Amino acid sequence: MEWGWVVHVIGDHFPNDAQDVGDDVWIDHGLSRGWSLLTQDERISTQPVVRELLERHRGCVHCLDSANLSAVAKAARFDAHRRVIHQHARDRRVGFFVVHEFGPPRRKRIG
């Protein structure tokens, strides 16, 4: 799909879609490059190391509120919130934000 985003797919940076590396490794990889991370895995918000990485890199993660969407629906959900996600990245907002179908992404307490 072509929607005007630059998206770095995890499989382009880690073999086997990073299934063999810890969440801290791929999160550090992306945040250290200044990327705003997009995921569907809300369980990573429970890891204390994630909060540490977000603070160290002054970064953000945006997570879908449901992993039970088609790939097209996932992309559309993120794209519907593109303006806010981009603003969070520009402002270097630190946090883990849950992206819902309606309403703005909401910050989640992590770690």
- Domain ranges for the chain: 22-108
User: What is the sign, positive or negative, of the torsion defined by CA atoms of 61, 64, 68, 73?
Assistant: negative
Q: Under a CB-based contact definition with an 8 Å cutoff, are residues 98 and 110 in contact?
A: no
CA torsion 65-71-72-76 (nearest 10°) is 30
Tens of pLDDT, residue by residue over 56-111, are: 999 999 999 999 999 999 999 999 999 999 999 889 899 999 999 999 999 998 86
In three-state secondary structure terms, 17 is helix
Residue type, 9: V
Query: What local confidence, expressed as pLDDT, does residue 10 receive?
Result: 87
Residue 37 tokens, joined: 């991370």
Question: pTM of the entire structure?
Answer: 0.89
Tens of pLDDT, residue by residue over 1-47, are: 566 778 888 888 988 888 899 999 999 999 999 899 999 999 999 99
Distance CA 101, CA 86 (A): 17
CA torsion 7-11-14-19 (nearest 10°) is 120
